[in-house]
Chain A
Amino acid sequence: MAAVQDGQIEPESEKEIKSETLNDATGNHAAAVGGLLPSSPVSTASVGASNSSKAAASEDQQTLLAVLQFLKRNKLVESADILRREAGLLEESDDAQGSEGGRDELGGASADEGGEAASLFSRVTSATGASGIATGPAPSKVAQGSEDQPDVSVVLSAYSQQGDPALYQMYYSGLKKFIESVLDCHRAELSQLFYPLFVHMYLELVYNNHEQEAKEFFEKFHGDQECYYRDDLRVLSGMSKKEHMRGNETLLDFRTSKFVLRISRDSYQLLKRHLQERQNNQIWNIIQEHLYIDIFDGMPRSKSQIDSMSGSLAGEAKREANKAKVFYGLLKEPEIEVPLDDEDEEAENEEGKPKKKKPKKDSMGSKSKKQDPNAPQQNRIPLPELKDSDKLDKIMYMKEATKRIRLGPDNLPSICFYTFLNAYQGLTAVDITDDSSLIAGGFADSTVRVWSVTPRKLRAVKSATDLSLIDKESEDVLERIMDEKTASESKILYGHNGPVYGISFSPDRNYLLSCSEDGTVRLWSLQTFTCLVCYKGHNYPVWDVQFSPHGYYFTSGGHDRVARLWATDHYQPLRMFAGHLADITCTRFHPNSNYLATGSADRTVRLWDILNGNCNRIFTGHKGPIHSLAFSPNGKFLASGATDGRVLLWDIGRGLMIEELNGHTDTIYALKFSRDGEILASGSMDNTVRLWDAVKAFDDIETDDFTAATGHVHLSENSLELQLGTYTSKSTPVIHLHFTRRNLLLAAGGYNP
């Protein structure tokens, strides 16, 4: 029997949430952004019925309401009345809840606490079936979990099922024995159950105040869990009291999102039969209420296949989650009249309108006239008009591109390393402009510093009074407005109130964005070297910020688990992308500016559609917080690097993992594709820059339909062959990488004596 909270959030409950504690940040923002996310009713919290009286005694109102609904549904009017009287609840609120509850379709399927096996299984099948239907619009499946949860206590009350605490160990070891005894082909798949079951059983014990049993349970079985869950286990091990469960984010994540497992039908049948025989209701309840089992037909997956995809906080992504169409193609480049190659000396001719049209025949397919079928509509996202200066810059870019070195395994790029000396471990972020003329560093002392790496010095515009004296008609007015006295090689920008964790230059080099621990994003002018706007919206540290490749838009993500899309001329965000279960650690724009990738501490990468805010891809497989992302220049692929020292390559179009690049021994803070996408460079805390053969990695993709359909990847074990070079610095972690327009690799980091 289960009383069910509805997924839909009513306006009044939304207000209520806003006044809630910090921990509800996710729910809060998810609610605020509700319009963007499709929501469907999903059963999440169910309360054991046998302890309805117990629940009534609970101090929490939400639980009370849930119980009331249950009573009502079962026509226990009298007891409901008594309860309401005793609790002193208002009729209206009850009604509101009740009407929501009525919408739920799963509630009816609830079984008695006695739990005869038959009804149990009917429940499960209906649950999986129903959610299969419910997940029709696949995006942000897991997001709804958090959205559905108005209050932690409701979440917790799901644990109030009482079982004999002493038997938990027996249950678990019984299952363990069973799984260890099954055929090899099933064992790997069923082993996935261990971790979520372990966690939920432990939490149940803790919730029901069986501290001693919980400790013993943990001691006995934590060694069995996969090593990549170590960090979460550490959090769990600290949590030994019911009081601790309130306000613990990790716990919230476990509970609010169903842990997703992908299991073949055969293995699932096996498990079902076993539990049926053993009457192992405790485990069955957990599987049913806290896990989402994604059953597929076909061969069970191998251990390595499972390992490559698992590791995320909430299990694997559901298959449906990665089915939506993504327009990964590039936008058509605007038609710009480019002067002929041989007219190089006529630099000034560019200012005057050159006559001849001659688009470059480039490696970049984007230059071709015909529209890429995978590309989004040109105006899918309104993009800013190109200014004259932008066109000039484009021309420069194309000119440089013709001089570009073609890279490859036999033709490795030169690497120039910019070392920040005397930074005293304070360097937290670096960015380099696209034309490699400026380099900026964000520091732990709240400053942002900008250097010019060309002989051209940084000059600020003159003050207003001086500007009024200038002859605006003169030819060199752009030169005259500059104040020569301010020329220097570097400028310091003061304004933040905490370490600057992310910085990004605008493509036109007029602006610089920075985000900081103080929760703000600031826009700086590189003409005046002052702060123009302070974007407030994140309440917690902002970990990353990035300008769109077309300028104007930018994105930020931080500790509040919400990525935001901003436009420079709006002080409020245009979109909020909620769904991650932990901090968003890095954000990147797709080269066509229509999509946004976010990496998170929940060990997933998500791809969001900027147009409608949908989450179109969820990539699982990392075993640690993701700290770097990079799109390939053709927009088809995504690379992500995490604290586990691995780089994963993803095919965006098909939503598949392509390759795992092993080699780094520490967090990867920088990833970058060469301009033509032939080489992937990765920079890490282990003081190395590594080069990988991207072409080969992408060529190796298996194109069989089964893989595409199921998302079961076979990773080749050749990541060492893909590695083209390792370059160690003396003691400088690499925190930024950048390919110049001619494919020279620039690396940057702070010397760490």
Chain B
Amino acid sequence: MAEERRPKPCSVILPTESMKAIAESMGVGQLQEESCVALSEEVSYRIKEIAQDALKFMHHGKRRKLMTSDIDYALKLKNVEPLYGFQSQEFIPFRFASGGGRELHFYEEKEVDLSDIINTPLPRVPLDVSLKAHWLSIEGVQPAIPENPPPISKEQQKTESTEPLKAVKPGQEEEGPIQGKGQGAANAENKGKEKCVVRMKARSTHELSVEQQLYYKEITEACVGSCEAKRAEALQSIATDPGLYQMLPRFSTFISEGVRVNVVQNNLALLIYLMRMVKALMDNPTLYLEKYLHELIPAVVTCIVSKQLCLRPDMDNHWALRDFAARLMAQSCKTFSTTNNNIQSRITKTFTKSLLDEKTQWTTRYGCIAGLAELGPDVIKTLIIPRLSVEGSRIKAVSEGPVVSNIDKIGADHVQSLLLKHCASVIAKTRPLPDNSDQYRTDYGYLGPMLCSHVVKARAQAALQAQQVNRTTLTITQPRPTLTLSQGGVSGVSGPRTPNIIKVPSSLTLPVQTLVSARPVTPTQPSPPATKYIVMSTSAAAATTQQVITLSSARSTSPITSPAPSSASTMQPLVKLEHGGASAGAAATGAGGSRPVQKYIVVSLPSAASETKGASLTSPLPASSGPAPVLDSSSKTDRSDSPGASGH
């Protein structure tokens, strides 16, 4: 007759060993087994009784969490002296250890250095209780303000998009709601949901209220406008505001159309702005983007592999855009790829196909490699490393052969550095020692020797990283790197710096203070390999770095790529962002003279876990990284289709 089977009421009883242990602690040596049994039953019963009373106090305290004070009050109720000294705001950190045949639960108590405590600044005084009013609903409509939860939760957005017939979408209710009566009106009418289970898919009218239209206009204008401060604000809003759900289709169309137009017009700046919008949308935890991937992914891929993205391919730094877009792509693969949509394998296939094509331009080639490389070490290992010798010979043909064109040469240079950068870390992990330059040449062709030196560096760096990880001193709380581009002609970069740029005082000269930040992934998705960046700052004049991707394309002659290994530093910078017009205290008057320039060097390091693994790994090379340089396309396709090859 029971309506539902429930978990059976537990009749758990404390083990008699605990009784013995407690008795021993009280000085009672020999406790009879029977007394132990009797005691443990009695004690268990009393404890349950007290817990039940404590629950009562929790309910009246209007909480969901039982607190130690509740237990105190329950004891008081029974005229038992309360326990003194228990004040716990959070859970009590019992730790468990077993060894020597005994199992122990204990408090973890850390040794604390008194001088540390004395020297730390006083904690902030807890804030006093305060009262804040906001509108939960206005005439039955819940306004989409930050105080309120997102109107439509992500799950709901998902069910709506995947099962459109079952759930009636707010905004599609009966006769499309009038302006201003967004979700609330639908909420009010959701009683009708039950009745209209079977119905045709209602026509999709995405009507925006006047406020929403204004917002949309403001945001899109700011995102592609000239004012960097406004743009930062707008992006911030896109990334955090909960009520954007209804505008998502518009944003999506805006981005895809924008990319389409600007690729044709080769407007690099606008493309970058649009990509940043994509990033912001992906960062917003309340949006269900899956529905709009068909518009967003082509746009992003375009920015990765398009033959030409800017007017002056020899001067403008479109490589950074490709890198950025490739990272976005990798991120969306991680977040959205499922067995159903197979995004990752489809993307991989696309990249691989054009990579294998002999006639592919250097720019596209760069994009393909970047896109693949961002997908993770597995993809690099299976798809890029086997191609190394082929690509190497191609690069050789350009750099050592007759001068074809400057553009090709630059492209080849970039591809080379890209390959070195990504492959070195993977090889360092997979290839056993020793690193022999000649051996590398036989294995990887033209790029071999360079690769060898990079691998040596990567290994050294891994060792260094192992040390540094142990003394991480400062954690950046804003792990949102921003791609800022200063482009002289199009947009005068002026105004204050975006607030979310990692700021590092320029006076730091040594990487003593390491800033470890997480990789820019969406917060919902913990990135499996957790590559860490160590961010250091150098002043503009400091030229200790080897590889500079300068984004200031206005006057600089050409993007400098100097792979020259300097013995001074063991770092291998991957990305260097330069922010022009910064108001930060970088007093350096750089070589350019006109603008104070602060540079950030982001160094990619393997995560601690994988790095230790790499250090201890002595496994032989995987077959794919063997000398067989060319994989025929069919085998490659197979590989990319298999789930094992797709990502981590």
Contact = CB atoms under 8 A, between A and B. Distances in A.
A543 B56 CA distance: 10
Contact of A585 (B1, B4, B41, B60): B60
B240 to A, nearest CB: 13
Given A230-B9, A416-B134, A601-B56, A541 B63 contact: no
B64 interface: yes
23 contacts: A22-B78, A219-B8, A236-B9, A240-B45, A241-B41, A243-B42, A411-B139, A414-B138, A418-B131, A418-B133, A419-B133, A420-B129, A421-B127, A425-B65, A443-B129, A444-B61, A499-B61, A541-B77, A559-B56, A583-B56, A689-B136, A728-B149, A752-B63
B4 A730 contact: no
Given A227-B6, A412-B188, A421-B127, A428 B132 contact: no
A19 to B, nearest CB: 15
B194 interface: yes
A730 B148 contact: yes
Interface string B86-115: 000100000000000000000000000000
Contact of B136 (A236, A415, A423, A666): A415
Contacts of A517: 57, 73
A214 B138 CA distance: 58
Interface string A517-528: 100000000000
B131 A729 contact: no
A227 B4 contact: yes
A222 interface: yes
Contact of B62 (A225, A428, A689, A726): A428
Contacts of B10: 237
Contacts of A424: 89, 126
Interface stretch (A87-95, A165-173, A264-272, A716-724): A716-724
B648 interface: no
Contacts of B78: 22
B517 interface: no
Nearest to A236: B9
Contacts of A223: 2, 5-6, 8
B126 A227 contact: no
Contacts of B2: 223-227
A727 B131 contact: no
B3 interface: yes
Contacts of A425: 61, 63, 65, 67
Interface in A403-453: 409, 411-428, 439, 441, 443-444, 449, 451, 453
A730 B9 CA distance: 33
B513 interface: no
B137 A725 contact: yes
B139 A416 contact: no
* Chain B: interface size category: 35 or more
Contacts of A540: 77
A222 B188 contact: no
Given A720-B194, A729-B136, A224 B1 contact: yes
B135 A414 contact: yes
A723 B191 contact: yes
A625 B60 CA distance: 11
A574 interface: no
Contacts of A336: none
Interface in A209-223: 215, 219, 222-223
Contacts of A451: 131
Given A223-B2, A720-B191, A439 B131 contact: yes
Contact of B132 (A418, A543, A747): A418
A432 B136 CA distance: 17
Interface in A358-374: none
* Chain A: interface size category: 35 or more
Contacts of B142: 727-728
A191 B1 contact: yes
A238 interface: yes
A235 interface: yes
A194 interface: yes
A60 B596 CA distance: 95
B337 interface: no
Nearest to A747: B136
B79 interface: yes
A16 to B, nearest CB: 20
Given A227-B2, A414-B138, A727-B136, A421 B9 contact: no
A248 B52 CA distance: 12
Given A417-B134, A421-B127, A733-B62, A498 B73 contact: yes
B184 interface: yes
B183 to A, nearest CB: 10
A416 B143 CA distance: 11
B128 interface: yes
A451 B129 CA distance: 11
B498 interface: no
A603 interface: no
A726 B9 contact: no
A358 B627 CA distance: 103
A108 B102 CA distance: 65
Contacts of B63: 425, 752
B201 interface: no
Contacts of B140: 411-414, 691, 724-725
Given A226-B2, A428-B62, A419 B134 contact: yes
Interface of B: 1-6, 8-11, 41-42, 44-45, 48-49, 52, 56-57, 59-65, 67, 69, 73, 77-79, 89, 126-140, 142, 147-149, 184, 187-188, 190-191, 194
Given A415-B135, A418-B133, A230 B6 contact: yes
A417 B135 contact: yes
Given A230-B6, A414-B137, A422 B129 contact: yes
Contact of A421 (B59, B62, B65, B132): B132
A415 B136 CA distance: 5
A222 B5 CA distance: 10
A721 B191 contact: yes
Nearest to B73: A517
Interface string A298-337: 0000000000000000000000000000000000000000
Given A414-B137, A415-B136, A419-B132, A240 B127 contact: no
A149 B184 CA distance: 55
B126 A415 contact: no
Contact of B64 (A419, A685, A691): A685
A585 B62 CA distance: 12
A501 interface: yes
A234 B48 CA distance: 9
Given A417-B133, A421-B129, A425-B63, A238 B45 contact: yes
Contacts of B127: 421-422
B131 A421 contact: yes
B47 to A, nearest CB: 9
Given A237-B11, A724-B191, A726-B187, 13 more contacts: A225-B2, A226-B3, A230-B6, A236-B9, A419-B132, A421-B132, A427-B62, A451-B131, A517-B73, A541-B73, A541-B77, A727-B136, A752-B63
Contacts of B57: 499, 517, 541
A66 B10 CA distance: 38
Contacts of B4: 227
A194 B1 contact: yes
A635 B440 CA distance: 91
A233 interface: yes
Of B6, B48, B62, B134, most A-chain CB atoms within 10 Å: B62
B187 A730 contact: no
A422 B131 CA distance: 9
B482 to A, nearest CB: 27
A441 B62 CA distance: 13
Contacts of B61: 425, 428, 444, 499, 501
A673 to B, nearest CB: 17
A29 to B, nearest CB: 16
Nearest to A746: B133
A627 interface: yes
